[in-house]
Amino acid sequence: MQAQCLSITDSRALYNHFVPVPLNLQFFGKLLPPASVATSSLLVPSCKSRFGILYKQKKNDTLLHQVAASAVPPPASSTNDVYGEGKEFDPRRLWRRFWKVAAPYWWSEDRGQARLQLAAVFVLTLGTTGISVGFNFLGRDFYNALANKDADQFTKQLLYYLFSFAGGIPVFVLRDYARETLSLRWRSWMTSYYMERYLKNRTFYKIQSQSIIDNPDQRINDDLSSFTGTALSFSLTLFNATVDLISFSNILYGIYPPLFVVLLVYSIGGTAISVFLGKGLVSLNFMQEKKEADFRYGLVRVRENAESIAFYGGEENELQLLLQRFNSAFENLTKLLISSRNLDFFTSGYRYLIQILPAAVVAPMYFSGKIEFGVINQSVSAFNHILGDFSLIVYQFQAISAFSAVIDRLGEFENILDNESNYASGTSEEISLVYSCTDDSPSLEANGTVSKDKPQNLLVIENLTLQTPTSRAILIRDLSVQVNCREHLLVTGPSGSGKTSLLRALAGLWNTGKGKIQFHVDDPKGLQSSSESSKFTRDVFFLPQRPYMNLGTLRQQLLYPSWAGNAFPISDDTKSPVVLPFLVRKSDTSDASRKPKLPTTDELIKVLEDVRLGYILSRVDGLDSAREWSSVLSLGEQQRLAFARLLLSKPKLVLLDESTSALDEANEAHMYELIRAAGITYISIGHRRTLFNHHHICLHISTVDPNTTQPNWRIDPINQDTLLKFSKQ
Ligand SMILES: Nc1ncnc2c1ncn2[C@@H]1O[C@H](COP(=O)(O)OP(=O)(O)OP(=O)(O)O)[C@@H](O)[C@H]1O
């Protein structure tokens, strides 16, 4: 869509400024309708580029891949009814949304550069309008010389024309270059701005797990790109049209005032009819964006889960799903094509009539000898300019409707990012998650010294009742438990009882319910100074059920997530001429002294050997080779790699969600031995009996019984008796 909309100004420029020659061809009996030269590219129907989007998106594959890799569940589709169908062309709502999306950049830290570049683009645009007015007069003299058979004058005018082309073309090219550069800069800033908020406060997780909007990846990637390109393009088109209108109105009015009146009536009528005919295009474009993104997401999912699908032999199923998604896009596109066709019937007629209308009005003056032949050309050219300006809506209705869909999608996204907290919880009562200093630990003596007898608290859970976020089903009732340093806790219970959900609450991902969770960490100060998104202190580490391998080298896997900033260079090209400041993440200098030292290569190799993964190094050409790690490594290897990350991060407390489920018993015992030796306290979730060997206490959660208000958990110490009992079972 971006290409489509950018072509509007490009072709307008050519049409407005260099078109006098084809315009006059008609007067010499040529068949080519001049306006079609301009308008065929001027009015590239939005639907024509629809399938092209798939191609464009292919180019963005890498980014998509990254986005999709982090978004595991299927795309949300709950927004269809709310946002999609029935969306009408409402200029006031669109304008509000447009302003909300567009404004922040022009008041951002980059506003100086942005405004300067915008001013340059406008000055160059003014220059191009000036040049086109010059061409209008040149055209008049050129055709007068031709009509008068004045060879000398004709040669002179021809030379003027050639010199003017040589001087004028660079201004047009530079204007376009400046506009594109500014558009790219704006897009880069907005991409960084949106991504920052998307990844802040775990908004990405809430959007995905609660199906708040569809395809956020597409909105960040494609919609932002279209938005910035088209917004600039439209603003310039409007500006150009205004200046054009002022410049050419004088000329036209000077030639024959009634021609001006004809023009006004024609353009106002045309605008009203095209708005009426094209009003359904906005919602169709909106849905098209969504349906294509759904289809693309389906393709990415097949790639991401290639092995599982191949094992299941699920190709037929996937094919059906993909065809169904494509068909949905196809059906919508068919409706879009029909609407566009109906609009095209009108706009084509509207455009063709222009060719004869001005000539028909001024021809009597020419026949009576009041004006010269060149003036007819001049009036046709001026008429076309002004009509083009007055007919922006007619000419660009399809582009405007596609742009409106982009504004709507981004406006929606913007609202969600802005009001993210509204989605966190619907009630005032929620679980309180507190990180406090170790010194506040209730295990300390009144005089402030750590008691030798009393163990140091790491985690205290008080009266926690946990509910699922949307349906509010109770999973755990009134849980109170505390975990002391080096007292390892095992959480067991039947599948679906809420073990992982307890971890979600501990991590702050879920806060529906009531009660208090308090972590005692060494550095709550550091925690307060760091951003919300890194609410985990370095002292607490979570290993999720599904090992996550990021896209990158083996080194980057190991350094994830504690040293992510050091692991990812901002540019592929070390000699890159421009690095935009807002694309570089500033490291939190207030935190610098507290940050752990970046592990050396030797330390990374050692930790790999510790988790018995040393052999991978020779297989993949060292630490800096990049692979699709989630496919290259077995599940057990990925779990051991996760333990390597953990050992490098050295937290005080780790929460392990079935993190050794894919390991054999010997490797499982080895992993637990490693973290115990590193002084890390752990809370594990698991079903395996062997896990009892590595823990001191067991929290057993049973499936909640809706008929009772009794707690659905119990705590048992793990001792020789317990182990014996389990070994006999
Ligand atoms: N996002 C969600 N929204 C609503 N309910 C959810 C959500 N995620 C999980 N649940 C439900 O919460 C319940 C507890 O899920 P949880 O993942 O905590 O179970 P679990 O005890 O860890 O199970 P398993 O041992 O099978 O991993 C399940 O019934 C599950 O369907």
Q: Can you read off the two tokens belonging to residue 65?
A: 């891949």
Question: Is 325 within 8 Å of 291 (Cβ atoms)?
Answer: yes
- By most ligand atoms within 8 Å of CB, the mutation choice from 72, 425, 466, 475 for ligand 1 is 475
Atom of ligand 1 nearest to the CA of 503: 18
Could you tell me if the CB of 334 is within 6 A of ligand 1? no
pLDDT of residue 603 exceeding 80: yes
Name the residue of 501, 543, 659, 685 to mutate for ligand 1: max ligand atoms within 8 A of Cβ.
501
Query: What integer is the mean pLDDT of 262-283?
Result: 81
Spatial CB neighbours of 149, under 8 Å, sequence gap ≥ 6: none
Give 599 Cα–ligand 1 centroid separation in angstroms: 36
Q: Which atom of ligand 1 is nearest to the CA of 501?
A: 18
Q: Is the Cα torsion angle 637, 643, 644, 645 positive or negative in sign?
A: positive
pLDDT the model gives residue 267: 80
8 Å CB contact between 485 and 455: yes
- Please write the tens of the pLDDT for every residue from 174-215: 999 999 999 999 999 999 999 999 988 888 988 888 878 888
CA of 79 to the centre of ligand 1 (A): 24
Cα–Cα distances (Å) from 111 to 166, 185, 236, 276, in that order, read 34, 11, 19, 39
CATH 1.20.1560.10 fits 8-416, yes or no: yes
From 509, 536, 531, 508, select the one nearest 521 (Cα to Cα).
Answer: 536
Q: Which helix (H) or strand (E) holds 473?
A: none
- Ligand 1 pocket test: which of 212, 492, 500, 703 has the largest number of ligand atoms within 8 Å of its C-beta? 500
The CA 560 to ligand 1 mean position distance, Å, reads 26
CA distance 394 to 500: 57
User: What is the spatial order of strands in the sheet that 653-657 belongs to?
Assistant: 540-543, 653-657, 681-685, 489-492, 697-701, 713-717
Neighbouring-strand partners of residue 683: 489, 655
Judge contact between 57 and 23, C-beta under 8 A.
Answer: no
432-728, CATH topology level: Rossmann fold (3.40.50)
**Axis-axis angle for helices 151-199, 2-18 (nearest 10):** 160
Residue nearest to atom 19 of ligand 1 (CA): 496
Ligand 1 centroid to Cα of residue 683, in Å, is 18
| CATH 3.40.50.300, the chain: domain bounds | 432-728
Residue nearest to atom 29 of ligand 1 (CA): 496
Q: Is the Cβ atom of 73 under 6 angstroms away from ligand 1?
A: no
The pair phi, psi for residue 449, each rounded to 5°, is -90, 150
Rounded to whole angstroms, how far apart are CA atoms 471 and 513?
12
pLDDT tens readout for residues 215-229: 888 899 889 999 999
Residue 525, pLDDT above cutoff 80: no
pLDDT of 27 reads 27
For the segment 449-469, the average pLDDT, to the nearest whole number, is: 77
Nearest-CA residue for atom 16 of ligand 1: 498
pLDDT of residue 15: 34
Each residue of 493-514: pLDDT tens digit?
A: 999 899 999 999 998 888 899 9
The reported pLDDT for the residue numbered 565 is 56
Ligand 1 contact via 496 beta carbon (within 6 Å): yes
Q: Is 409 in the pocket of ligand 1 (CB under 6 A)?
A: no
Q: Is the pLDDT of residue 729 over 70?
A: no
* In the chain, ranges of CATH 1.20.1560.10 domains: 8-416
Mutation choice for ligand 1 from 207, 479, 491, 497, CB with most ligand atoms inside 8 A: 497
For residue 279, the one-letter residue type is: K
For ligand 1, say whether the CB of 495 is within 6 Å of any of its atoms. yes
Euclidean distance between the first and the last CA atom of the chain, given in angstroms as a whole number? 65
Mutate to test the pocket of ligand 1, among 72, 468, 545 (most ligand atoms within 8 A of CB): 468
Residue 431's identity, in one-letter code, is I
Ligand 1 contacts CB of residue 499 (under 6 A) = yes
Instruction: Give residue 500 CA to ligand 1 midpoint distance, Å.
Output: 7
Among 344, 139, 378, CA closest to 255: 378
Instruction: Determine which residue's CA is closest to atom 6 belonging to ligand 1.
Output: 468
Residue 78 has pLDDT above 70, yes or no: no
Average pLDDT, the chain: 77
pLDDT tens per residue, range 694-710: 999 999 999 988 888 88
Taking the CA of residue 497 as reference, the ligand 1 atom at the shortest distance is: 21
Q: How sure is the predictor about 663, in pLDDT bands with cuts at 50, 70 and 90?
A: very high
Q: Is 468 in the pocket of ligand 1 (CB under 6 A)?
A: yes
pLDDT of residue 574: 57
More confident residue, 405 or 721: 405
Look at the alpha carbons of 643, 649, 650, 654 in this order and tell me if their dihedral is positive or negative. negative
Q: Is the CB of 494 under 6 A from ligand 1?
A: no
Q: Which residues contact 571 (CB under 8 A, 6 or more apart)?
A: 579
Distance CA 213, CA 413 (A): 8
Dist CA 460 CA 441 (whole Å): 9
Q: What's the predicted TM-score (pTM) here? A: 0.71
Please say whether the beta carbons of 466 and 510 come within 8 A: yes
Name, in order, each residue with C-beta under 8 angstroms of 295's C-beta and a sequence gap of 6 or more: 322, 325, 326, 328, 329
Smallest CA separation from ligand 1 atom 30, residue: 496
Round to whole Å and give the CA distance between 500 and 636: 20
Residue 452 gets which letter from DSSP?
A: S
Which of 18-27, 99-108, 564-573 has the weakest average pLDDT? Answer: 18-27
Residue with tokens 């024959």: 256
pLDDT at residue 145, rounded to an integer = 86
At 52 the pLDDT is: 35
Quick check: CB of 236 below 6 Å from ligand 1? no
Angle at 291 between CA 278 and CA 342, to 5 degrees: 20
Distance 132 CA to ligand 1 centre (A): 67
Q: What is the DSSP letter of 455?
A: P
Q: Are strands 540-543 and 653-657 parallel, antiparallel or unpaired?
A: parallel
Q: Is 209 close to ligand 1, i.e. is its CB under 6 Å away? A: yes
Residue 590 beta carbon below 6 angstroms from any ligand 1 atom: no
pLDDT at 105 over 90: yes
Which residue(s) pair with 681 in the sheet? 653
Bridge partners for 457 per DSSP: 484
**In the predicted structure, residue 491 carries a pLDDT above the cut 90:** yes
Determine the pLDDT at residue 682. Answer: 95
pLDDT digit string, tens, across residues 450-459: 444 556 888 9
- Choose between 485 and 283: higher pLDDT: 485
Nearest 10 degrees: Cα torsion 350, 356, 359, 360: -100
Check pLDDT > 80 for residue 723. Answer: no
